[in-house]
Amino acid sequence: MVKYLISIFTFLSVSVLGIKAFADKAASSAAPLHEHIVNNSALLSKSLFFGLSALGGGLAIGLGVIGAGVGMGNAVRGALESMGRNPGMEKKLIVWMITGMAIMESLALYALLITFILFYANPFKAIFLK
Amino acid sequence: MLKAPILISIPGIPAYWTMTIIVMGLILSAAFIVGRNLRIVPTGMQSFFELIFIMTEYFLKEIIGEEGGIYLPLIASFAVFILFSNLLGSIPGFTSPTATIDTTAVLALIVFFLSHAVGIKKHKAKYIKKFLGPLIIIAPIMIIIEIMSALSRPFSHALRLFANIFAEEFMVTVLLFLLPWAIPAIMMYMQIFTDLMQAFVFYLLAIIYIALSLEEEN
């Protein structure tokens, strides 16, 4: 468990440093030197914000789908096992299995909604785009 | 955000208003045409509407019980309205009214208020027992949890239908911009299945929420 946490933190810190380096490079290449010193912190915070928003959106849908996938797999396994034992129930079971799967699928779609909010309708965007 | 082009768009009015009115017109004219010459052996459209009627009657009897018959008009109109408005999104140039949170929120709020109103009407003051949990000692904690879960119900009910329909429309739109040839048509065909499924899920959950507040506590 600790190993995974360490690797996640390493990944996060590396990505933050990468964004910082990218912002420095972008600032130094785009703006002249005197503007660069003034704008550097604003640009850094802006690029950190948007980079981490994109990262969070990707992680939200990726981690959200894991749970829905496991749940749907379990549901299909249970339905198939009982269909194998009792083939007469097949039609009824398929209807309820698909209904349950549609409800589980919507859990993944909540995660997708968070991704869309982070990408397209970020509530804190106005602070950083001033 | 990416948006598919919409055929009928009146400036100043949101697109889903026009689409809701189109759906209402479609349902009313279909009901008028079907109701004008009813046959004993149903054909075509009549058998489709009778299927919804019989299915709703069956589920109401199965889940709520004998007293469920009076909810048939409401639940069956939910089924017809949601099904038609989901399917309208499959036609190019139109968009589903249910792809907006406003429409689904109204439908979910109707179910929320109705379910609690009929619960209070049936159980009177005993209705509060549903929120107190099994033991009287842990009631102060349970009441908060139960009220939270009751309040989150219309939220998830509305969000489920909205997110599904919105996501499938968005997927078709993204494919339309990526690969404008043939592939979006396959996705739009797949959309019909999700539309039917989500209409059914919303309708079933509406019945279950009403049944939950009607059942006896013991």
Q: Does the pLDDT of residue B1 top 70, yes or no?
A: no
| Digit-coded pLDDT (tens) for B136-158 | 888 888 889 889 988 999 999 99
Position A77 scores a pLDDT of 94
What pLDDT sits at residue A38? Answer: 60
* Mean pLDDT taken over chain B: 88
Residue B124: which region, alpha, beta or left (left: phi > 0; alpha: psi -120 to 50)? left
Q: Looking at CA atoms only, how far is residue B54 from chain A in angstroms?
A: 17
Residue with tokens 């494919």: B175
Domains of chain A: residue spans and CATH: 2-128 (1.20.20.10)
Q: Is B2 left (phi over 0), alpha (psi -120 to 50) or beta?
A: beta
The answer to whether residue B184 scores a pLDDT higher than 70 is yes
Q: Compute the distance between CA of residue B54 and CA of residue B51 in angstroms, rounded to an integer.
A: 5
At position B212, the amino acid (one-letter code) is: L
What's the gap in Å between the CA of B197 and the closest CA on chain A? Answer: 7
Q: Which residues in chain B are closer than 8 Å to A64, comparing Cβ atoms? A: none
DSSP, collapsed to helix, strand or coil, labels residue A8 as: helix
Amino acid at A39: N
- Tell me: the pLDDT tens digits for B49-75? 899 999 999 999 988 888 888 999 999
Using a pLDDT cut of 90, give the percent of chain B over it.
38
Between B210 and B216, the higher pLDDT residue? B210
The per-residue pLDDT for range B96-152, each reduced to its tens digit, is 999 889 999 999 999 999 999 999 999 888 888 888 877 888 888 888 988 998 899
Cβ within 8 Å, pair A106-B160: yes
Are A53 and A77 within 8 A, CB to CB?
no
- More reliable by pLDDT, B175 or A29: B175
- CB-based contact B163 A120, cutoff 8 Å: no
Read off the pLDDT of each residue in B175-189 and give the average, rounded to a whole number: 84
Would you say B21 and B14 are in contact if contact means Cβ atoms under 8 Å apart? no
Backbone angles phi, psi at A60, to 5 degrees: -60, -50
Name the strand (E) or helix (H) holding B123: helix B101-123
pLDDT at B8: 79
pLDDT at residue B180, rounded to an integer: 79
How far apart, in whole angstroms, are the C-alpha atoms of residue A73 and residue A86?
20
Neighbours of B169 (CB within 10 A): 20
Q: Residue type at A123?
A: P
Is A98 strand, coil or helix? helix
* CB-based contacts of B53, cutoff 8 Å, min separation 6: B72, B76
Please name the amino acid found at residue B24: M
How many residues are listed for chain B in this entry? 218
For residue B13, what pLDDT band results from cuts at 50, 70 and 90? Answer: confident
Contact B167 A99 (CB under 8 A): no
pLDDT tens sequence for chain A (130 residues): 778 888 887 877 777 777 777 777 776 666 555 555 566 777 888 888 889 999 999 999 999 999 999 999 999 999 999 999 998 888 888 888 888 888 888 888 889 888 988 888 888 888 877 7
Task: Tell me the CA distances in angstroms from B216 to B130, B135, B150, one per residue in order.
Answer: 9, 16, 17
Instruction: Identify the DSSP state of B92.
Output: T
- How distant is the Cα of A116 from the closest Cα of chain B, in angstroms? 9
Q: Does residue B18 sit at the A interface (CB-CB below 8 Å)?
A: no
Tell me how far apart the alpha carbons of residues B184 and B176 are, in angstroms, rounded to a whole number.
Answer: 6
